[in-house]
Chain A
């Protein structure tokens, strides 16, 4: 499965008069890490929700390897190889880490409902295969010892990693991360940066929303800056850092 290329062209979204995304065009190049940055309320999460089909677009195109996915239901977008994490962590708090990650493996289970109801061997082999795959992912993101712990009791950083493992369990070609470093300490952020690069090297395109500029600069090949629902700049980390409009709109507000 080759990495997927994502292209947004003049995508827009309004909520009862509030313009959340005015017009966003961007490309997440296949096999690269693209960062989507911008001040609070600039429309980053809304853009991600449109890509994953949670919100219908009001205008524009969203293309995955040239195919328009803007009208697809979220589970169909997921089936095309798009996975995501959530800014406001959405895990099943009472379930274990492994059970949460196994939900991501749902669409790769091969046993049918009849297999399940009549206890046929296909159920067990499919379940064993997916469990092994998910355990390897827990290992990859560095939470293997927490396999049987209910996620409700985990630290912020660990829960974010459970979300990443769950997204990886869907076998994505494009991974969308919404503020994965939020709430993490310095050491955790370093480990997360390595993880993002490892994911990219596995042949998965990454689109990353993040406020921590150091983190973004470390992992991104390309940065797109949003403000008031429009992209105001794009380029490599070095280029974007030097753009006056960016400093004014984004970095300026934080440093001031």
Chain B
């Protein structure tokens, strides 16, 4: 049994790790998306977390776990600082502003040679990230999202997503909840950045650009924002599909674009909504109470 698992990991280990890492990232993005924040800041937060944690392990000799958490915390702090002004923007402008943030981080990474290695990046990063750690983190993320969704916070987040003006009038601190979620999303993205850096031996400024942000946003959208397993399904599907079909990277991008377009237009609930397709609840046709009076 163990031998079979070892053999499987030997040939597919990289893909498994990538799936797990992207799943984690998908839940990080879900935190923002659940309150209607279409963030393109994910790449920027990953970069902050990645460079911070690599600096800590390689330059300061910090323990791996401490470095990853610190990377997440630094990204969360950055999210807190940019969140306050950016969250006052609506829809398109929020996307544009978070994209601009990712770009700014990329340009800083290109030029701050002492910490980021500039355009060349950083090579020879020790490989500390292990599959079991990623599995554990995915399970923790799943549990937290599960607990959050079924609590009254989950209820208010869903309400914010559907009608923020009404939610605010009902006493929900919409700005406060959005900011908390944005910061939490930054934390997870930063942590994933640190984990990714210690998995790949290398980080460079092009690792965490717009493309990374769009991919990360696509995971929960493709899988479904309303379902607990939506982000996981979206992340794994999106990670495996090009590998299975062995696309060139250009085709991959075209395919991803078409896929997102299709889902947004024809399946707004994401892939997971296919599972819950059933006849309209008979209850909806139940007579109203008006006759009872």
Contact = CB atoms under 8 A, between A and B. Distances in A.
Q: Chain A, interface size: which category?
A: 35 or more
Interface stretch (A29-37, A71-79, A202-210): A71-79
A2 interface: no
A103 B172 contact: yes
A219 B244 CA distance: 69
A119 B147 contact: yes
B174 interface: yes
Contacts of A188: 290, 293
B148 A116 contact: yes
Interface string A90-127: 10100100010011111101010100111100010011
B169 interface: yes
Given A111-B152, A113-B153, A149-B283, A90 B166 contact: yes
B61 interface: no
B129 interface: no
B26 to A, nearest CB: 19
Instruction: Select the residue from B155, B163, B286 with max chain A CB neighbours within 10 A.
Output: B155
Interface in A142-198: 142-146, 148-150, 152-155, 157-158, 166-167, 170, 185, 187-188, 190-191
B169 A84 contact: yes
A144 B286 CA distance: 13
B144 interface: yes
A228 interface: no
Nearest to A159: B288
Contacts of A106: 152, 155-156, 170-172
A86 interface: yes
B167 interface: yes
Nearest to A96: B283
> Chain A's interface: helix, strand, loop or mixed, by majority?
helix
Interface of B is mostly: helix
Given A90-B166, A107-B171, 9 more contacts: A54-B165, A54-B168, A102-B152, A102-B155, A109-B152, A145-B286, A150-B283, A155-B290, A157-B288
A52 interface: yes
A117 B286 contact: no
A142 B293 CA distance: 9
B3 interface: no
6 contacts: A79-B171, A106-B156, A142-B292, A149-B281, A152-B284, A157-B288
B252 to A, nearest CB: 34
Contact of A73 (B168, B281, B283, B292): B168
A78 B171 contact: yes
B169 A123 contact: no
Given A92-B158, A123-B151, A149-B284, A104 B171 contact: yes
Contacts of B166: 86, 90
B285 interface: yes
Interface of A: 52-54, 73-75, 78-79, 83-84, 86, 90, 92, 95, 99, 102-107, 109, 111, 113, 116-119, 123, 126-127, 130, 142-146, 148-150, 152-155, 157-158, 166-167, 170, 185, 187-188, 190-191
Interface string B263-293: 0000000000000000011011110111011
A155 B152 CA distance: 27
Contact of A74 (B162, B169, B283): B169
B159 A111 contact: no
Task: Give the most central of B172, B180, B285: most A CB within 10 Å.
Answer: B172
A104 B155 contact: no
Given A92-B162, A106-B156, A75 B168 contact: yes
B111 interface: no
Contacts of B14: none
A193 to B, nearest CB: 12
Nearest to B284: A153
B144 A154 contact: no
Q: Closest 6 A-B residue pairs measured CB to CB? A: A153-B284, A78-B171, A107-B171, A90-B166, A155-B288, A116-B151
Contacts of B286: 145-146, 149, 153
Contact of A143 (B162, B173, B175, B289): B289
Contact of B171 (A75, A111, A143, A145): A75
Nearest to A172: B171
Contact of B167 (A103, A109, A187): A103
A76 to B, nearest CB: 8
Contact of A187 (B155, B173, B281, B293): B293
Contacts of A53: 169
Given A127-B152, A170-B171, A158 B147 contact: no
A231 to B, nearest CB: 24
Q: Which of B171, B173, B175, B285 has the most CB of A within 10 A?
A: B171
Contacts of B172: 75, 103, 106-107
A186 B204 CA distance: 71
Contacts of A79: 171
